Structure 1
Amino acid sequence: YITGFMEDVPHIGTFTYRLKGFKEQPTDHYMRTYYLAAQPFFTNSKKWCFGGTPRHMLMLNYIKNIFNVYRDNPKFVFGFHGELSHDSYNDIGAADEDLYQWVKSLQDQGHLNNTILILMSDHGHRFAEIRNTIAGKQEERLPFFSFTFPPWFKQAHPEAYANFVYNTKHLSTPFDVHRTLQNILKIGTPKQGDLSQRDMSLFDKIPLERTCADAFIEPHWCACLAWEELPTTNGTVIAAAKSFIEFLNSYTEEHREICEVLKLDQILWAARLIPTK
């Protein structure tokens, strides 16, 4: 395979933010060195541009060139553009027409006849007040993620394709996507997904009863949970409150000269997280 790895903001790259990156160039084509060299010149151009070229087009054109040069070679290319949307996604719409024309160009030139194209985001807004709403919470946890298959794929692998469509309505994770990419190299007979596995190919059928716990998703990031209010007289609620008070008293035991012994006075509100349908 011809390989490519592109990220446009090198100081917060997947393998460089709080990490040490690579000792050697990890793929055949790698844009980090280009962006490091080009960044000092970005300040001389208009916002989001390098000279007269929108900066997102630098990466899109580079990827398209890989497809044109290696037309007859198998390829795995990962490009991630974050500059337009990282701090605020209000600007990302500026790339809509360019992205459309880029995908259309790949299709018109026949590249998508033997390519699985994935368009994705990594997460929703991380700071905005919209995160305090139900919609914002879901968006943060359920970013856009799409697969486009070659026209012949559905006919060649009808059961795998049907399972893939079925799984769009079920709980899946990035680990499942990773397993799916491995599965693409050798698509066998689809099967029922195993709940004991952390990852399942999206060409297999994910069980309807799969939970965030089954998929190793922490409760904070689970998009399939809702708050259910509980009566403050509930035995479990009272026991949890007392346990918390005991923990606090134990934590402050060594500083009793300045810390009072706490006692449970009143429970004002209680709720629990439960799976949604």
Structure 2
Amino acid sequence: MPKTFYTLQEYYEAVTFKHLNKIGINSHPNAFAFLLGKMYGVIPRSPFSRGHVGDYKSRDEACKTPLDKEQFIGFRYKDDGYVTMMAEDWALGAFLWPNCSGFKKTPMDHYMKPFHLRFDYGKYKSPDLHKIIHKDSCRDYHYDIFEYLGKFLKAYPDKPKFSISWISYLTHDEQNALSSADDYFYHFFNNTKKDFENSYVFFMGDHGLRFGKMRETRTGEIEDNNPFLFLSVPKPLRAALIPQLRKNSKELITHFDIYATLNEIPQPSNPRISKPLLHGNSLFRPLPKPRTCDSLKIPFEYCICRAEKTLLPKNNKIGIPAAKLMIEQINYELYNSNYTRDLCFELTLNESAEIILEDFGGEQILRVYKITFSTHPGDGKFWGIVSYDPKSKEFNIISTKFSRLDSYGSKSKCASTSNLASYCFCMDQSISSPKLS
């Protein structure tokens, strides 16, 4: 998006943060980090981490906890007198998918969810609406979001405003789609530069493309774990804030730091949560050291400060037992979930497919390996990280979740309401596919 980036740097004086590291596999845990400031899951102790306890007992508890009393960043702005707005381009969004509680009451003054319920969700769905608004009019999904935001920018001229606009469809399944939107983004930011002159603008991603041939490359791995962030501050404050922002742009940061930064801007006199929990630090101030993946609570499998890996020969004795251990864990989780137990096949290792074993080396007593393997049925392709004790011959799983490299929406449609959908190959392949996975 060269035209968009030029506009942000030239007219917004936006600072580019090159080392933003995601903290979870997909949008749900990353949304918890930069919009709630909460740590979604546990980071197990390993040769690369002292281990960290999450803010919830389990992923399921985080999913099922209603967010109305949480430290959602939008509430802090409402408490300070801001008019608030939130728009996503699908009905479930980051907090409700796959089958979570989300907000029980409307969290913002202006909320685009009713439009998307009518547009594409369940009993509210209008069969003709999608055809009329998008297909017949040749409009992409993000047009609706930006038009909604544009109207919000012009409203309430005498009041402070806070908005969250989250676009998923544009690049969820195809990384090249972003280039086609460059002109649209460029014109939007160029036409609204006066509206944003007195604003903080965070233009960012929560994670990169998670599956497909590109994701199987080293570049694809970095893109997944290292989303972009451009940060622009109000024009009157740029001389004071930009020098520190530029220093911090060279440091490793996380979504927890973005939450801490957003938290610092409003100053409500009577906030519903007086001292929000902060796992990160404001980007407007000097960042504490050291800044390692462990100190910043980044799971090792997503760390962009990755140690060198050595590709081991195909006939090694580690790959098959390590892969089988991870598949055993996958099957255990599928069997113990009410959403998948009677719907998904038990998986086995495809020993005829390539098993890729990468050794992180080092002098530690325990060896650490990244294993990429394939499963039957369904030809799923996964990777995970394990440790291995050469003396006891024992493996231990480090990964909190096994990432899937192939697109699985059409294969796991029966489990689309489960956070285990990526593990599932449905016994019934006739169910209609969900839009996102």
User: If the length of structure 1 is used for normalisation, what is the TM-score?
Assistant: 0.74
Contact 2:210 2:224 in 1 (8 A): yes
Task: Find out whether 1:60 has 2:146 as its counterpart.
Answer: yes
Determine which structure has the larger helix proportion and give its number. Answer: 1
1:213 aligns with 2:294: yes
Structure 1 residues 236 and 168, CA gap change in structure 2 (3 angstroms) = same
Deviation at 1:237, TM superposition (A): 5.2
User: Contact conserved, 2:307 with 2:360, CA < 8 A, in 1?
Assistant: no
1:117 equivalenced with 2:206 (yes/no): no
Q: What whole-Å deviation, never above 9, does each CA across 1:150-193 have from its counterpart, x for those lacking one?
A: 222123xx2x432211111111111101101111225xxxxxxx
Alignment of 1:69-84 (within 5 A): 69-84=155-170
Give the count of matched residue pairs: 230
Of 131, 144, 160, the match for 2:228: 144
Is the Cα–Cα contact under 8 Å of residues 56 and 95 in structure 1 kept in the other structure?
Answer: no
Alignment correspondent of 1:252: none
Residue-by-residue CA offset, 1:97-155 (whole Å, 9 max, x unaligned): 11111111111xx2112111111111111112222322111111111111122222123
Corresponding residue for 1:36?
Answer: 117
Partners of 2:86 and 2:110 within 8 A in 1: yes
**Which residue in the other structure is 1:91 paired with?**
177
CA distance in 2, matches of 1:76, 1:114: 12
Match of 1:241 among 390, 393, 409: 390
Cα deviation digits, residues 21-63 of structure 1 (max 9, x gap): 32221111101111111233354248x5463544321110111
The 1:22–1:185 alpha-carbon spacing in structure 2 relative to 1, beyond 3 Å, is: closer
**Structure 1 residues 50, 172: closer, same or farther in 2, change over 3 A?**
farther
Partner of 2:96: 16
**Contact conserved, 1:112 with 1:150, CA < 8 A, in 2?**
yes
Letter of the 1:221 partner, please give it.
Y
Q: Kindly name which structure, 1 or 2, has the bigger radius of gyration based on alpha carbons.
A: 1
Deviations for 1:217-254, whole angstroms, at most 9, x for unmatched residues? 1111111122255899x78258822233488xxxxxxx
Alignment of 1:156-171 (within 5 A): 158=240, 160-171=241-252
3-state SS in 2 of match to 1:114:
coil
> Which one-letter code corresponds to 2:231 in the other structure?
F
Maintained 8 Å contact 2:86/2:164: yes
SS in 2 for 1:79: strand
Q: 1:52 to 1:162 in 2, by over 3 A?
A: same
Distance 1:228 1:58, change over 3 A: closer
**Structure of greater relative contact order (alpha carbons < 8 Å, 6+ residues apart):** 2
For the 8 Å contact 1:4–1:28, the answer to whether it is kept is yes
Alpha-carbon RMSD across the aligned residues, in angstroms, is: 2.7
| Distance (whole Å) between structure 1 residues aligned to residue 115 and residue 146 of structure 2 | 14
Whole-angstrom distance in 1 between the partners of 2:227 and 2:294: 20
Give the structure 1 partner of residue 30 of structure 2. Answer: none
Secondary structure at 2:308 match in 1: strand
Out of 100, 107, 111, the position equivalent to 2:186 is 100
Q: Which runs of 5+ in 2 are unaligned?
A: 1-81, 121-126, 268-277, 311-358, 368-387, 397-437
- How has the CA–CA distance of structure 1 residues 218 and 73 changed in structure 2, closer, same or farther, with 3 Å as cutoff? same
Consecutive unaligned residues of structure 1, counting only runs of 5 or more, are 187-196, 248-277
Q: 3-state DSSP class of the match of 1:100?
A: helix
